[in-house]
Chain A
Amino acid sequence: MTVPSSLNQSSSFWVNLFLQNRELSGFIIVLIYLLVASILAYILSNHIARIYRGEPTVFSRYAKPFIDFFEKMLGPVAKKKMKLRDYVLSFVFFNLVAGVVAILAIYFQNYVPFNHAFAANNFSLIINTVVSFLTNTNLQHYSNPLRFTYFSQTFVLIGLMYIGPATAFAVSMAFIRGINTEEGHLGNFFHDLLVSFFELIIPLSLILTVVLIVAGIPETTMYYLTVHPLFSGSTVNLPLGPVSSWESIKNLGTNGGGFYGANAGFPLENPNWFTNILEFSAFTLIPLASIMSLGKVFSSRSFGRMLYMVVMGIFLFSALVAFFGEYIGIPSFSGLGMAYTGNMVGKETAIGLASSTTFGVGATMTSTGAADALLAAYTPTGMLGIIIPLLMNDPLGGVGTSVLNLFTFVIFTAFIASLMVGRLPEMMRIKLGSKEIKYSTLSLVTHPLLVLIPLGVTFTLSFVMTSFSNPAPFRVTALLYEFGTSAANNGSEIGTFLTNQDYFNYLDALIMLIGRYFIMIFQLVIAQSLAGKSPRSEGENAVRLGSPAFGFTLFAVMIVVGVLSFFPVLALGPLLSLAKDFNLFIWRV
């Protein structure tokens, strides 16, 4: 589609080529985003591989005093070699304490001095918010920052934004240790947690904060700025605050909850194309680097490469669906004969179509859920690109969960692939018994069940369906998205209905908790079970996890499980909307 505008004329052939072929330039932008993210992740993957293998890293020298200090404070519990039960109890207890403290702190936020008091929050919202920040979801059923004080934001919510990813990363360390060890224990949760904090998350977020400040994002304790918009008699309160440090951990920790309600679509969170690609690379950084590191961790380069290809295949596919969906836009508009440059509704012009959609897909590929555009205004096709990764339980995952989630599919595929080559199920040369298959199946079914059961129940409850105003198929999409985002601990929202009501606050909190902790525990059960088994020497006759054939099988399994679980809902939600749009188009022409 060419846009007849004098602005798009340039003397350079190349500039003209890209300006006039926006499909091509959009495609190239998508590739650039994935390439930049991959390069940065590749650089970090060595660091993460060292952490996973328990080797010292570049940050060890600085981290050691902190780790030693906290370990001394914790006493013998930080030295114990933990088995499944102790490990699970440790991280559940640690998260429980953090959650309870956070709930109390927010409940009494108005009593903390030096803060600007707000109206009391409803209890269900507090529960929902704390759970969602604790579980790395950051579903925001409130409009930040008008609900929580600077104290709550800086200490409670940012605190949780560190605790969530660090816990998951520690669990992923234990999971990998379980596969790699023969010693029968999973390591020490507190040690793993401290390593995640001081050797990975804190140093990286400090670096990113500085970069973001330089890029022009505010970092202040100043009270609201009162601004006078042009052409308007009224005044607007513009909240400022510790935006950079929030933004830094929001992205690095794959949290995704915005300081502002509009998330990265708000200029103070994401002022320009540079911060857009920077934030995109920040939230894909640790998940992608963790996956890339697996090649080194399991001393099989091809395994790491295969996982990267599979995940990136899904990423690229979804990103292209989203971009072209938005680029083609609403056919009925074009049918009217208007000069139409794609669906820019709800998108920031400074960022543009391709960058926005890629950012959006990246946010659902990872468990970040940040958004730099209004998802509710996406076309049905564009929405498909965003929602597909969500329904596959974030294939790229979050900090730590990238490894855990991907392995539910890997174990399962190894089971089927082993059978198909005539061998008893094995993975990484370790036998998979019925126990591993049981928990792997449980992990696999958790996500679809967590989405479909609440969805089915909610549709029958007319009292919660009152706040919807969009057409029916879109309501299906909205609810599917709401539960999908909770179950995948993603946190992006398309809203379009009143989310801050007790029903959704409590239900989502429950879904998030199960989606987060059940899968972690199931994966640790598998790890514990594998920890006792001795690895078999590499046999040529077994399925090689790094082979293209296995990669294809893994890809097919991920797609088929996703499709089989959600096809009917997708058909009656986005596909129905899509079909209606196209029908309209045909009718008009």
Chain B
Amino acid sequence: MFRINVAQIPSILKTTMLQFNPVSELRNPVMLLTEVAFVLSIFMAIFPGSFSLPATASYEEFYLSVIVMLFLTLLFANFSYAVSEGKSRTIVESLKKMRKETIARKISDDGTESIVPSSSLRKGDIVNVGAGEEIPSDGEVLEGSGFVMESNITGESRPSLKLVGDGVTGSTLLTTDHLRIRVTSDPGETFIDKMIELVNAATREKTPNEVALTIFLAGLTLIFLIVTASLFSLSLFLGNAPNLMVLMVLLICLIPTTIGALLSAIGIASINRISKYNIMAKSGKAVENAGDIDTVILDKTGTITMGEREARKFYSVPGVDQKEFALDCLKCSLPDLTREGISIAKLAKSYGASVSEQEMSGYEFKAFSAETKSSGITGENETIIKGALKALEERFGIRDQYVEGVCKEISSRGGTALPVIKNGRFIGVIELIDILKPGIRERINSIREMDIKTIMCTGDDEITAQQISQESGIDEFVANSTPMDKYQVVLREKENSKMVAMVGDGTNDAPALAKADVGLAMNSGTPAAKEAANMVDLDNDPTKLLDVIFLGKQVLITRGALTTFSFANDISKYFVIIPAMFSSFAVLNFLNVLDLTNPILAVTAALIYNTVIIIALLPLAIRGVSFRPSSANELLKRNMMLYGIGGAIFPFLAIKVIYMLLILGGVAW
């Protein structure tokens, strides 16, 4: 269910009332026509004679109820707009609060530090930030590392570690250490500025899909306008001067007020919902595109499996003592602060290995890189390197049958083998295992049920990749892949005219992100990656790409379902209002399938249904219709059943019930 914050009520009511201004209804032809009808109905009720309407007491009550219902229709439409708009306004307000002016310690070219207001910072400026200070603008870490509290943007209460090359967001708080940052955006173009702009634009501008739907609704509204007008002259011709008020009610009941009233709310709600996921989409269009994805490219690490792998077992080559091997592993992993390194160190300690900090000071650590595919330490008289088997074999030009055998065995179990070389000789293998993220299997399954192809990219070898993809249900994998390979995969899929979605964080991912139809960058990623992507995830959870796809589909399905429902409803209204209008033709009573004996009460019941259904469907519009991930064919079948056939039958029942309630309530016109 959607909830409305009590504090928002005044502003929602204000927007609701402002929306009555016909100028703001111009964007919505359906509601504009309703407003015209509303004004007309007032005139009709005041001067019934001029419209040759009967003016008995019961008719006057009927006119009054029409006025009230038309007012409510408009009110509900405006209200649904205001509620969604109110939600985005809350987001904008909180964002604006964040964008407060701070001071910045700017480093000039000669290296001196000067205090300037944060708004004066330009792209390329260098600033210093100390512990407890706010980061003045979006930027990239040049020097230092530290924990940054981003809770005001992400809602995540734990501070995240920022290292050299990482991106930082303005207005977040550095809690420890000291960073030197290069500013990456001009004032007004920062992340928060863009987000404010986005949320504002989402309430202001229509996506192409909304435009198309509005055109279509306008076309059908035109038909119904002409239908009603021709009915007027037709009934005059048949000598049955129609009651203009009833004719107008027919028109309002026929035009697609349901979808017309809720259309803008659906769009705004989608932007609100995606912000709730802590994802910043650069446009509403990007969200809709996400629903349209044919292929998803996922990284293995971080998306399918838990970040880094964990060490499980050591295998030393014959002739090397197990304990000695554990010690070497510990040495080369201690400076390695990745989770993988930490887990190796932990495992080594459980083997009884230990090393003092002093001993370690003599070594130089070389971190893992995608190019060398290895990491290690170099000391005065020993070099210990661990890395991928192939990379090590090529680099050192050696092979070891035992190591190869162990590696193969580990891989066949789906684990990752990490051979270790000491002074140019294999000394053993560390077995690492990948841990699938909890629930990832089910999520990938649901994506596959929507017939979306999943491709996994991993730097691992073929066998490991296959194991993981089998385990998680991935369709296709690219093993031994480099960031450039990812770009190739995107290109290949695009050439097959597929819509591609992918996640990326490194600078290397930027070309692929830019090429993909939906590129989700991690907030921790480089500015280049964030620039190239059309969505940024503030929580750095790549799995969310799957949520985005789901959300995109949901927005479109909600629109389609409510449009279908709106039209299917019309059939019943004909069967209620036409016999009521021509009750003087007793022979037409066979059309009165609901057996509503009082004509004006029947018309009122139809109008009440038409009005109430808007507010009844508002939660659905804002929350989105629920759907089970399944093939397009299944979805179409189910939604046609529910909203098409259901939408044709349901109002018959509802109108009959409303009519009975009116009778029971003692309305006797």
Contacts and interface: CB of A to CB of B under 8 A. Distances in A.
B450 interface: yes
A441 B221 CA distance: 11
A583 B578 contact: no
A19 interface: no
Contacts of B218: 441
Contacts of A575: 588, 591
Contact of A576 (B222, B233, B553, B585): B585
A572 interface: yes
A130 to B, nearest CB: 29
A337 interface: no
A423 to B, nearest CB: 5
B564 A569 contact: no
B568 interface: yes
Interface string A442-471: 101100110011011101100001000000
Contacts of B208: 433-434
Contact of B216 (A415, A544, A571): A415
B231 to A, nearest CB: 5
Given A420-B564, A459-B234, A544 B254 contact: no
A449 B226 contact: yes
Interface in B201-239: 208-209, 211-213, 215-216, 218-220, 222-224, 226-227, 229-239
B50 interface: no
Contacts of A571: 578, 582, 588, 591
Nearest to B637: A549
A565 B574 CA distance: 11
A312 B229 CA distance: 33
A572 B234 contact: yes
Nearest to B632: A421
Given A429-B497, A540-B451, A567 B574 contact: yes
Task: Give the interface centre of B224, B238, B254 by most chain A CB atoms within 10 Å.
Answer: B238
A442 B236 CA distance: 29
Interface of B is mostly: helix
A424 B289 contact: yes
Interface string B633-669: 1011101100110000000000000000000000000
B215 A441 contact: yes
Contact of A564 (B222, B554, B567, B588): B567
A468 to B, nearest CB: 10
A15 interface: no
A473 B213 CA distance: 37
A564 B498 CA distance: 38
A32 B586 CA distance: 40
B552 interface: yes
A392 to B, nearest CB: 14
Size band of the A side of the interface?
Answer: 35 or more
B627 interface: yes
Given A434-B215, A444-B219, A536-B498, A424 B640 contact: no
A81 to B, nearest CB: 24
Contacts of B499: 536
Contact of A552 (B236, B574, B640): B640
Contacts of A442: 219
Nearest to A560: B567
Nearest to B291: A422
A422 B552 contact: yes
B571 A445 contact: no
**Max chain A Cβ within 10 angstroms of own Cβ: one of B227, B254, B557:** B227
B422 interface: no
A422 B211 CA distance: 17
Interface in A570-584: 571-572, 575-576, 579-580, 582-583
A425 B560 CA distance: 10
Contact of A448 (B223, B291, B561): B223
A502 B241 CA distance: 29
Interface residues of B, number: 73
Contacts of A226: none
Contact of A425 (B212, B226, B574, B587): B212
A476 to B, nearest CB: 7
A537 B294 CA distance: 10
Nearest to A439: B215
B557 A419 contact: yes
A444 B234 CA distance: 23
A448 B219 CA distance: 11
A460 B238 CA distance: 11
B636 A420 contact: yes
Nearest to A553: B640
Nearest to B563: A416
Contact of A553 (B213, B234, B586, B636): B636
A200 B573 CA distance: 47
Contacts of B627: 422
B587 A580 contact: yes
A535 B582 CA distance: 51
A4 interface: no
Nearest to A556: B644
Contacts of A420: 557, 560-561, 564, 635-636, 639-640, 643
A578 to B, nearest CB: 9
B632 A541 contact: yes
A543 interface: yes
B556 A423 contact: yes
A424 B571 contact: no
B452 interface: yes
A534 interface: yes
A550 B563 contact: no
A290 interface: no
Contacts of A582: 587, 590
A441 to B, nearest CB: 4
Contacts of A432: 212
B570 A457 contact: no
Given A419-B556, A437-B216, A472-B239, A456 B233 contact: yes
Contacts of A445: 219-220, 222-223
Given A419-B557, A459-B237, A552-B640, A547 B230 contact: no
Contact of A544 (B557, B633, B639): B633
A442 B216 CA distance: 9
A563 interface: yes
Nearest to A458: B233
A549 B390 CA distance: 52
A547 B636 contact: yes
B537 interface: no
A441 B219 contact: yes
Contacts of B222: 445, 449
Contacts of B215: 434, 437-438, 441
Nearest to A461: B233
Contacts of B644: 553, 556
Given A549-B636, A571-B578, A424 B291 contact: yes
Contact of A543 (B254, B552, B632): B632
A449 B496 CA distance: 42
B631 interface: yes
Interface of B: 208-209, 211-213, 215-216, 218-220, 222-224, 226-227, 229-239, 254, 288-289, 291-292, 294, 450-452, 496-499, 552-554, 556-557, 559-561, 563-564, 567-568, 570-571, 574, 578, 582, 585-588, 590-591, 627, 631-633, 635-637, 639-640, 643-644
30 contacts: A419-B209, A419-B563, A420-B639, A420-B643, A421-B560, A422-B557, A423-B291, A425-B209, A433-B208, A434-B208, A434-B209, A441-B220, A448-B226, A452-B227, A453-B230, A456-B226, A457-B233, A459-B234, A460-B236, A460-B237, A535-B497, A536-B497, A536-B499, A541-B451, A549-B640, A560-B567, A560-B568, A564-B224, A572-B234, A575-B591
| 6 pairs of A and B residues whose beta carbons are closest in the complex | A419-B560, A422-B553, A456-B230, A541-B451, A441-B219, A420-B560
Given A437-B216, A539-B294, 16 more contacts: A434-B208, A434-B212, A445-B222, A456-B229, A459-B237, A473-B238, A537-B496, A540-B631, A541-B450, A544-B632, A564-B223, A568-B574, A569-B231, A572-B582, A579-B587, A579-B588
